[in-house]
Structure 1
Amino acid sequence: MFRPFLILLIIKLLNYILSSFCLGALRVSGRPAGPYRDVAALDRLTTCLQPGVNTLDRVFEISAQRFSKQDFLGTRQVLREEEEKQENGRVFKKVILGEYQWLSYGQAYRAARDFGSGLLALGQKPCKNIAIFCETRTEWIIAAQACFMYNFPLVTLYSTLGGPAIAHGLKQTEVSHIITSKELLETKLKLILMEVPRLQHIIVVDDKPISWPGYPRGISVHSIATIQALGAKPENGKRRSPCPGDIAVIMYTSGSTGVPKGVMISHSNLIASIAGMAERIPDLGVNDTYIAYLPLAHVLELSAEMVCVAYGCRIGYSSPQTLADQSTKIKKGSKGDSTVLQPTLMAAVPEIMDRIYKNVMLKVEEMGVVQKTLFILAYNYKMEQLAKGNRTPLCDKLVFQKVRVLLGGRTRVLLSGGAPLSAATQRFMNICLCCPVGQGYGLTETCGAGTISQLWDYSTGRVGAPLVCCEIQLKDWVEGGYQSTDKPCPRGEVLIGGPSVTMGYYKNETMNRENFFVDKNGQRWFCTGDIGEFQADGCLKIVDRKKDLVKLQAGEYVSLGKVEAMLKNCPLIDNICAYANSDESFVIGFVVPNQKQLLLLAEKRGICGTWVEICSNPVMEEEVLKIINDTALAAQLERFEIPRKICLSSEPWTPETGLVTDAFKLKRKEIKSHYQHDIERMYGNM
């Protein structure tokens, strides 16, 4: 039993000798209400990457010249597909993938140029909208670069949107051309073609020649290769380059609060945003490899990939189903994308990180006594050292290397965005993956820009200081009890201003007036609806959201987002949605349980049955509720914040179910509608 302690003592001594470094402090300016800025942006907010580079086509053109022969876009070959039958009788498709095949910067530039020229020949006009409805892949970014070059405003739609939302976006933007994949064309787009009368041309990105029978008269279907061949002809006419103020993207949100809204993003907005993000990531360059698997229709992914374009990084494409060796579509014994690609850069939403955290911690629980003791000692020791600003190279190599290789073993920067990241998950990522986690905050309306924590900042629960491309101020929200005069930290609604703030919502002046304004100096601002507090070192912490705050019958305010963030750390919970009616006195919850943990709990309680039967068993609801109550008390939630009743969901919440967005944010309206019967049951049985 003394061996783990002896090993750890040796590691401590060697770590002390080998490595230590000091953390600096980021200084920001600002009165209690703001505006708060990075000191580097005091003279003027950063608006571009370098002088003269103020449109996205120029970024790509310069990179294609500088890095012409270097690898740029990588895709793994599908060697074969197999069907695998599970114990419950369900059949899953598994894939065996080969190595990454790469296009160089020069090849990708020529492909984009020819594609843009081909679209021009096909009747697409400059400054006229064109849509892309496609999964994240090489062809998506090539198509986007083509549209940037030829000044075709690109309408982006999530691949998981339902038919009505797709039809709404296409009709509102009046597109005549759309870029899509064979799968999405056949499963989704084909079903709503009659609702989009202006649509004339469908360009399919799959490279195999396919015949397309059965489409309405007046609609032509083309392959991307055909359009590129058309674009290679010299007689297509000269392209019209964009201006900084021209619309680059009309990005439809994932619709977490209703019908998706189209956010107009100019070239200058995106340039400012990627300049701000790049400033927080040191030593970006040709030695970096980024793994791309989040939806490119999400501002976080598009901005991250544009940063890579600007600095000559490689981008290898993946998907959530093939990301790691243990991912759902990877055949057992074969390699996931991160193992093959070995990325140095990665962006992730908290949902993905929470899964990794829980899976690893479950494996720790299954370890032998010696291994488990050593892991826990090393974990706690490294946490102490990080707080002091010290490295732990031997700990990393001897204890955490096996966890690190889950993402390829070379990750040096991991950026989290899209939703709040729990403190437990963030600490785990910093410690076990041996790389800093930069937690960021931004919205589609601010082009993803807002804040990103410094990579040396290992504190949790904060999203960092303002980027150099924007500034932040706090607006009092008296009703919710948040004011800039609050002690010890000023609090209020977060307002973001600067060159990264977008042009507003497409054809929606009412919402533009509600959410955007221009100050006396001519600067544009967006009202986020999030409640933040600025801490003494200038870092922002998001503490609430106006729309997530519910007033209970007795007058207490409950932050639903806060409750969910705290309870997600419970090993039994894969996902949770807290809910409260204002005319009721308590909170209820809908829980997607972790299957392995719930089955173990059912076995201990002697409860048998199918997965659906176990989830709908009232005894299991009570057992899970007890564990949730313990987790809530340990997290120091107030009694009135703790769900008093829960409903267990036998089906996971995915973008395909319509209950979460592509960034895995809860769609509260849809969840309420889906579980209306359970809401009435839980509130009616008191």
Structure 2
Amino acid sequence: MASQTFKVPSSEVPGYSAIYRNSQFKDGTQGSEFSHITTACELFQHHLAIAPKAEFMGTRRFDPANGTFGEYEWLTTSDIAELIEDFGSGLDHVFAKYTANSKGHGTQQALGMYANNRYEWFVAEYGAFRSRRYTVGICDAVDVQTAEYPINHAELSVIVCSIDKIPRMLDRMAGTPSVRVIISMDRLDLSRPNNLTQAFCAATAGPSLRKRAAALGITLLDMDEVLEMGRAKPTVAQLPAPSDIGVLCYTSGTTGVMKGVLLTHDGMINGSRSSHFSFQYTDTTYLSFAPLAHCMDRYVIYMMMFGGVRIGFGMGDRARIVEDIQVLRPNIMLGIPQFLTALYERMARATIRANGMTGVVSRIAYRSKRQRLAKKGELRHPLWDRVLFKKVAAQLGGRIKAILTGAADLKPEVIDFLRAAVSCDVVQGYGQSETGAAGTIQRLGDYTSRHIGVPNAGSDIRLRSMPDYGYLVTDLPCPRGEMMIRSPSVFTGYFEDAEKTQETMDGEWLATGDIVQINTTGTVSFVSRTKNLVKISTGYCVSSERLDRIYAQHPMVHSLFVDGHQDYNKIVAVVVPEPTEFIPWARSVANAPNASLEELCAKPEVAKELTEVLRIYAASIGLTVYEQLGAIYIEPVPFNEKRHLFTSLLKFKRPAAIVHYDVQLKKMYEEVGGHL
């Protein structure tokens, strides 16, 4: 197989690998197509030109009589364009009247955004772009501090939010002194409540909120009032330059304090355009549900706006995303790994893991589809799709062409199953807030797994040796090291943190903090974050994140996190068992045929025996003695039920987990001994 990357000749320097590029874009550029589009505003005008009367943004209709959501109601691209113009003019009046001296970045002012995904977010954001303002997304999916930090760090004075967020904003006014104006996405008199919030807004909420805000010295408006200001007295648009800041995006905080990432219009457009060239999607339907406070969903939307897209917004309840999908029937779906894993578990239980004849037939069909895919590169099967998998695919609307995923690693068996069961591409990619969510992307038609694709069009990557951890660019046959990215999509720096910016940049290269390897096919495989590498007391370097993925492959493991410490010579882990495999095995070990999951997890003999099972498994697949678990704590409650252990993008927060399981970790280290 030809390499999917182009190795730039003579580009190696000591300590660094050669420079690698997408083999379809060897000159390191994206070519001339769409080169005239350099800002988000120009991208919207492009979409307006190609689809002015097409359905663009939709919201599910809510029926207050029975409390249910129905079909989608749509606004055209022209409808959205009119709203953007009027709201942008209204924003000019709001800032001039109430916060003329509001803080921002350089000559630009900031607008806070605080809501679930909905079309009003897009209108407000583009209304800000229209007058060279940038937006700051706020997300409180985890705790109050997650919302307060960006408000205070960016010193936001004007925030647009959904009505359900306003009470908690007013509750915390003492902790967010910069806020002067709150603009509700919903009518404060509730005469025309939005479908997304009508389900949980009390009839008296609006009037009471106005009184509370006034008592606190806060000007409380709603979007309709701001739109009317703009219609009554239109202002002249001051469109952004490519180098202007479009978004101040706060990192999700997996490793500590959030950082404010400054992304230019040109950078955001460059990243999304590069992926459009990889996929060439046109006239797609897309469900927006990954938080717009971060980069990923916005990046995918922009990517599809080059070819035309209609965007549906769900009910705002992640537990009911599948229902939104079935009603919208999207072509392209962004799949957060945790969501896709849960989807796989449910589908697999009903098919390949089912008992009786259903399971037998499903396993035969699954093997047949995988063999056809491997030999012919064909996603569809004339028999098994009609007999079995068409019903499975219908759970995702029946029209999915591709599922795009990133943010965290996805198990190969999940990828393989979804390709077979849904008959669609499952495309893994890599990006950070600092790269505007762009970085690497898997090609359509590549049905392999265990990698994150190749460099985006117009992006260069290289590796930097990490000798202290044993990862070298001279490793054979696959160079390994910290991934560095050079691209127009890379951020301009961290907001008000020149020192951290300098630490992150190596000249014109972004140091991602992620260890990867370049495979013989030219694809890139993720190994670990450098912050998740630790040297144990023997001097051996352990990648806890890598070991998480490996041990999670064992059938009795649902999930786990591995921990190592420089003062001990053994690693330990907190393990969440897979109940269907674990319970019968553990009952046999404990000689307790009626014991519950919780009772089995608490039995020392079960923990000891499972540790040995995992040690034997680790040895059988070639892990070194230092990578074999010395002790485990069995946790009956899945990690995803502990919300504070995950970011709003459902990425695992290892530092928070270490604090949460501090007692158990200390006990395990005492058990394994080896303290120096």
**When the two structures are superposed, what TM-score results if normalisation uses the length of structure 1?**
0.86
Equivalent residue, structure 1, for 2:198 = none
Please tell me whether residue 469 in structure 1 is matched to residue 458 in structure 2. yes
Match of 1:214 among 212, 215, 229: 212
Equivalent residue, structure 2, for 1:18 = none
Please tell me whether residue 560 in structure 1 is matched to residue 539 in structure 2. no
User: CA shift at 1:434, angstroms?
Assistant: 0.9
Pairwise mapping of residues 268-667 of structure 1 onto structure 2 (< 5 A)? 268-282=266-280, 284-286=281-283, 288-318=284-314, 321=317, 328-329=319-320, 336-364=323-351, 367-391=354-378, 392-394=380-382, 395-518=384-507, 524-570=508-554, 572-594=556-578, 606=592, 615-618=601-604, 621-622=607-608, 625=611, 628-629=614-615, 632=618, 636-654=622-640, 657-667=643-653
Pairwise mapping of residues 72-221 of structure 1 onto structure 2 (< 5 A)? 72-79=56-63, 96-123=68-95, 127-187=108-168, 189-207=169-187, 209=189, 210-211=206-207, 212=209, 213-215=211-213, 217-221=216-220
CA distance in 2, matches of 1:539, 1:516: 24
What is the one-letter code of the residue matched to 1:355?
A
Residues 219, 621 of structure 1: CA spacing in aligned structure 2 closer, same or farther, 3 A cutoff?
farther
User: CA shift at 1:34, angstroms?
Assistant: 2.2
Q: Secondary structure at the match of 2:484?
A: strand
CA distance in 2, matches of 1:121, 1:544: 49
User: CA shift at 1:27, angstroms?
Assistant: 4.8
What is the one-letter code of the residue matched to 2:432?
L
Residues 318, 654 of structure 1: CA spacing in aligned structure 2 closer, same or farther, 3 A cutoff?
farther
**Where in structure 2 are there 5+ consecutive unaligned residues?**
101-106, 190-205
User: CA shift at 1:319, angstroms?
Assistant: 6.1
Aligned partners of 1:79 and 1:96 also within 8 Å: yes
Residues 136, 644 of structure 1: CA spacing in aligned structure 2 closer, same or farther, 3 A cutoff?
farther
User: CA shift at 1:294, angstroms?
Assistant: 1.0
Q: Secondary structure at the match of 1:123?
A: helix
Q: Secondary structure at the match of 1:336?
A: helix
CA distance in 1, matches of 2:287, 2:142: 23
Aligned partners of 2:136 and 2:293 also within 8 Å: no
What is the one-letter code of the residue matched to 1:376?
R
Q: Secondary structure at the match of 2:520?
A: coil
Equivalent residue, structure 2, for 1:259 = 257
CA distance in 2, matches of 1:96, 1:597: 38
CA distance in 1, matches of 2:597, 2:183: 42
Q: Secondary structure at the match of 1:644?
A: strand
Pairwise mapping of residues 59-78 of structure 1 onto structure 2 (< 5 A)? 59-78=43-62
Q: Secondary structure at the match of 2:216?
A: coil
What is the one-letter code of the residue matched to 1:317?
F
Aligned partners of 1:591 and 1:647 also within 8 Å: yes
Residues 422, 634 of structure 1: CA spacing in aligned structure 2 closer, same or farther, 3 A cutoff?
farther
Residues 311, 128 of structure 1: CA spacing in aligned structure 2 closer, same or farther, 3 A cutoff?
same
CA distance in 2, matches of 1:232, 1:299: 31
Q: Secondary structure at the match of 2:84?
A: helix
1:642-678 CA-partner distances (Å, limit 9, x unpaired): 3333334454444973211122222121111111111
CA distance in 1, matches of 2:635, 2:219: 43
Equivalent residue, structure 2, for 1:6 = none
Aligned partners of 1:563 and 1:642 also within 8 Å: no
More displaced 10-residue stretch of structure 1: 171-180 or 370-379: 370-379
1:212-249 CA-partner distances (Å, limit 9, x unpaired): 1323532112222221122222x242121100000000
CA distance in 2, matches of 1:507, 1:446: 18
More displaced 10-residue stretch of structure 1: 239-248 or 549-558: 549-558
Aligned partners of 1:160 and 1:655 also within 8 Å: no
User: CA shift at 1:314, angstroms?
Assistant: 0.9
1:54-88 CA-partner distances (Å, limit 9, x unpaired): 11011112212321111111111233599xxxxxx
What is the one-letter code of the residue matched to 1:409?
G
Aligned partners of 2:504 and 2:511 also within 8 Å: yes
CA distance in 1, matches of 2:221, 2:581: 49
1:522-581 CA-partner distances (Å, limit 9, x unpaired): xx3210111122223321112232211122222322211111112333455443221111
More displaced 10-residue stretch of structure 1: 506-515 or 300-309: 300-309
Q: What is the number of equivalent residue pairs in this alignment?
A: 634
What is the one-letter code of the residue matched to 1:302?
R
CA distance in 2, matches of 1:191, 1:591: 38
CA distance in 2, matches of 1:633, 1:532: 23
Equivalent residue, structure 1, for 2:104 = none
Equivalent residue, structure 2, for 1:7 = none
Aligned partners of 2:139 and 2:293 also within 8 Å: yes
User: CA shift at 1:634, angstroms?
Assistant: 6.0
More displaced 10-residue stretch of structure 1: 156-165 or 237-246: 156-165
More displaced 10-residue stretch of structure 1: 492-501 or 73-82: 73-82
1:330-383 CA-partner distances (Å, limit 9, x unpaired): 8xxxx8111111111011122111112222222336534433233222322322
User: CA shift at 1:257, angstroms?
Assistant: 1.3
CA distance in 2, matches of 1:352, 1:38: 29
Equivalent residue, structure 2, for 1:15 = none
CA distance in 2, matches of 1:622, 1:140: 52
What is the one-letter code of the residue matched to 2:662?
Q
CA distance in 2, matches of 1:390, 1:668: 38
Residues 81, 425 of structure 1: CA spacing in aligned structure 2 closer, same or farther, 3 A cutoff?
farther
CA distance in 2, matches of 1:141, 1:607: 56
**When the two structures are superposed, what TM-score results if normalisation uses the length of structure 2?**
0.87
CA distance in 1, matches of 2:393, 2:260: 39
1:462-481 CA-partner distances (Å, limit 9, x unpaired): 11111113110111111122
User: CA shift at 1:508, angstroms?
Assistant: 0.7
RMSD: 2.7
Q: Identity of counterpart residues, as a percentage?
A: 26
1:128-148 CA-partner distances (Å, limit 9, x unpaired): 111112212222222222222
CA distance in 2, matches of 1:372, 1:596: 15
Please tell me whether residue 673 in structure 1 is matched to residue 668 in structure 2. no
1:476-498 CA-partner distances (Å, limit 9, x unpaired): 11112222222112222100001
CA distance in 2, matches of 1:634, 1:353: 29
Aligned partners of 2:314 and 2:324 also within 8 Å: yes
1:35-54 CA-partner distances (Å, limit 9, x unpaired): 11124434452388613211
Equivalent residue, structure 2, for 1:14 = none
Equivalent residue, structure 2, for 1:86 = none
CA distance in 2, matches of 1:490, 1:503: 29
Aligned partners of 2:170 and 2:212 also within 8 Å: no
Aligned partners of 1:579 and 1:588 also within 8 Å: yes
Residues 670, 355 of structure 1: CA spacing in aligned structure 2 closer, same or farther, 3 A cutoff?
same
CA distance in 1, matches of 2:603, 2:182: 49
